[in-house]
Structure 1
Amino acid sequence: MKVIEPVTHSEWAAPIVCVRKSNGKLRVCADFSTGLNKALETFDYPLPVPEDIFATLNGGAVFSQIDLSDAYLQIELSDESKKMVVINTHRGKKEKKVTLNVIGTVMSGKLGWLQIKCAA
């Protein structure tokens, strides 16, 4: 799956910042502090303490484990969201097709729903 694709026009365009990773390769990051961050709404969901999780799972018969370490690269953005996460590079504007590394925010909203479903 392609992560970015060219775009000709956008009302939002964040500059990029290159950061050297520990293995010497470069990571290209978008600097959304220049505008988009201020326009976003945050949703905080406190993570439950282990005792509460175990109490909720008590009596369960089927359990599952999900590895979400790279999940943000697998969730495609809506067309409306793609317009807001455009990056401005030396090769023109590029539109992100998948979620950025905001899986914590996404999952915190989903965890509230999940906890209710598991407890029911």
Structure 2
Amino acid sequence: MKAYLIIHQYEQLFDDSCMKGINCSPQQAINTGDHPPLATNPRRISSINRQIINDEVKKMSNNRIIIPSTSPWASPVVIVKKHDGSPRFYIAYRKLNSLTQKDIYPLPRIDDVIERLNGSYIFSKIDLRSGYFQVPLINEERNKTAFITHDGLWHFKRLPQGVKNFPSVFQRLMNKTLGSLRWDACVAYLDDIVIYSRSFNQHLIGVRHNISAAGCSPNDGNVRAISQFPVKLPKSSKAEYLQRY
């Protein structure tokens, strides 16, 4: 019941009716130096795949993830199969990636993650919906994400999948956002976050931290309860007391 009440209290955070994106500064990821733009022609596709592409472009356009483009760059769209056999819209950024300087920011080692979870009994898993699409891309690099279809040219306003450095860029942003909670109360691997605790009550405290692009902070109610705790201390001692939290 306690867990249900928390989810109900913050139900607006689980609204997936649109992809609003997060409030963070635009990210830089595609350093191609002075290389001139590369462009390819649209690939020939079946009528079925043409409709899949049209539907995906319409959805991303309605969510303001992409806009019509006049970019000199262009990567082709292909339809690939997922593990379950269903079709997936995919942009082949292979040529763009070959020109892009690598960002070496690391992703967490899986064995380190498993070791950190050892000894915990309560877990909550958060999977950010369309994680990359929540992160804005700097204006100067948006043209490089352009993709060409049978019906036009578009480029992204947010991070698309398939571009070389976006995993490192996204992980860096996640680490900054989670701040001191990382490796203490939670771990993040790209858009997957696991919150772990040794007890249920401790877990409820952990899941109620406020997380934003500026970092993480305790829930306002928790802070108020501590700051208004009925204890008489000199100002210097009170400051020291509050620092414990």
Which category of TM-score, normalised to the shorter sequence, fits these structures? 0.5 to 0.7
1:26-79 deviations in Å (ceiling 9; x for gaps):
x2211111234422322231515137746xxxxxxxxx9643252212222221
Q: Which amino acid aligns with 1:3?
A: I
Task: State the distance in 1 between where 2:107 and 2:80 align.
Answer: 31
Q: Per the alignment, in what secondary structure is the counterpart of residue 35 of structure 1?
A: helix
TM-score norm. by structure 1 comes to 0.65
* Residues 11 and 40 (structure 1), Cα distance of their counterparts in 2 relative to 1, 3 Å cut: farther
Rounded to whole Å, the distance in 2 between the matches of 1:53 and 1:114 is 19
In 2, the alpha carbon distance for the partners of 1:71 and 1:33 equals 21
CA distance in 2, matches of 1:71, 1:46: 15
Contact in 1 for aligned 2:105/2:169 (Cα 8 Å): no
What SS does the aligned partner of 1:43 have?
coil
Q: Do residues 5 (structure 1) and 67 (structure 2) align?
A: yes
Give distance in 1, aligned partners of 2:81 and 2:181: 42
Gaps of 5+ in 2: 1-62, 118-123, 183-245
Counterpart for residue 128 of structure 2: 68
Choose the corresponding residue for 2:104, options 43, 59, 75.
43
More helix per residue: 2
Taking the TM superposition and a 5 Å limit, the aligned residue runs for 1:14-25 are 14-21=75-82, 22-23=85-86, 25=87
- The 1:85–1:40 alpha-carbon spacing in structure 2 relative to 1, beyond 3 Å, is farther
SS at match of 2:73: coil
Matched, 1:92 2:152: yes
Code of the aligned partner of 1:99:
L
Letter in 1 for 2:168: T
1:74-101 CA-partner distances (Å, limit 9, x unpaired): 2222211211100011112111222112
Aligned to 1:80: 140
**Is the CA contact 1:45–1:112 (under 8 Å) kept in the aligned structure 2?**
no
TM-score of the two chains, using structure 2 as the length reference: 0.36
Between structure 1 and structure 2, the one with the greater Rg is: 2
| RMSD of aligned alpha carbons | 3.4
Aligned to 2:94: 33
Contact 1:43 1:109 in 2 (8 A): no
**Distance of 2:101 and 2:169 partners within structure 1:** 13
Q: Does 1:107 align with 2:174?
A: no
